[in-house]
Structure 1
Amino acid sequence: MFPPVFVLDRPVPRTGRPTTTARSVAHDFLNHAAQVRAPARPEYTDAVLMVVTELLTNAIRHTDGPAVLHLELHDDHIEIRVTDTSPEPAEPRPPRTDGTGGYGWHLINRLTTHTHTQPNPHGGKTICAHAPW
């Protein structure tokens, strides 16, 4: 495995439109990444953007502190990490049709090849997902 080619670390504001901001930042990152190494399949770009959106939506919905988006381009995947202030691990919930969610974690696991949660030594956690590229 080669060291990452591009790395992005960006705090995500809780005010305004945080998921829109994160998607825009991720979209710019992916455009640069594609110039270095095009994705193996065109739909991988949309999958990465969806995972970024879902991870950040969960961080904003289920925590009260800041979140940080981290993206890395590796030889065959994009590593997506979102750090938040909650020490609680992400857990799937049954999907609900009443607008309360439950789809995100299932979708993240469907669109990625690997996910795991790391506790942070100073509190909170980082959720890491590998999306094919």
Structure 2
Amino acid sequence: MAVSRHHDLKGPGAAARARQEVHRLAGDALVAGHPLRQATENDAVLVVSELVTNAIRYADGECTLDLALEGDGIGIDVHDGNPDPPRPRAHDPAGEGGFGWGIVARLVDDLTVHRDAHGKTVHAHVER
């Protein structure tokens, strides 16, 4: 049984809806007999939140999220219409960001950016 989820996201509540999708995927995985470790689910929630927040912020306010239970973890794809790849920024001690890409890079086992004629897809993989 394939366990996956696809969701179109836009607007200010997109990151919260994306986090809910990770929890739903974890529930689907449990029902399918492939439970996730809590740490894997937590890491995926944070990764999805950061990637979707950045996509909404930098790509006209909308993106798509694809989640899939893969043999050794969770595959995460966030596609948006901005072809520019994410860039690490200097951390802002005043609280204006700059931490997200570094957090994502530390939590995932694979992180790639694929550009195409319609924007880009950031692919991340969180191992079980």
Q: Same fold (TM over 0.5)?
A: yes
Find 2:54's aligned residue among 49, 58, 62. Answer: 58
> How many residues of Structure 1 are paired with residues of Structure 2 in the alignment?
127
Distance in 1 separating the partners of 2:62 and 2:83? 13
Aligned to 1:6: 3
When the two chains are superposed, the root-mean-square deviation of aligned CA atoms in Å is 1.5
Match of 1:78 among 68, 74, 77: 74
Normalised by the size of structure 1, how large is the TM-score?
A: 0.88
Task: Give secondary structure in 2 for the equivalent of 1:88.
Answer: coil
Structure 1 Cα separation of the partners of residues 97 and 39 of structure 2: 24
Q: How does 1:1-133 map to 2 (within 5 A)?
A: 5-14=2-11, 16-35=12-31, 36-39=33-36, 41-121=37-117, 123-133=118-128
2:96 partner amino acid? T
What runs of 5+ residues in structure 1 fail to find an aligned partner?
Answer: none
Q: CA deviation at 1:26?
A: 1.8
1:71-126 alpha-carbon deviations (Å, 9 max, x no partner): 011110100010001000111112212222111000001110010000123x2100
CA contact (8 A) 1:65 1:85 kept: no
Shift of 1:8: 1.2
The amino acid of 1:13's aligned partner reads K
CA shift for structure 1 position 34? 3.0
Percent identical residues:
31
Alpha-carbon deviation of 1:65? 4.4
Report the Cα distance in structure 2 between the residues aligned to 1:65 and 1:19, rounded to whole angstroms.
11
For structure 2, list consecutive stretches of 5 or more residues without a partner in the other structure: none
Q: 29-38 or 98-107: which moved more?
A: 29-38
Matched position secondary structure for 1:100: coil
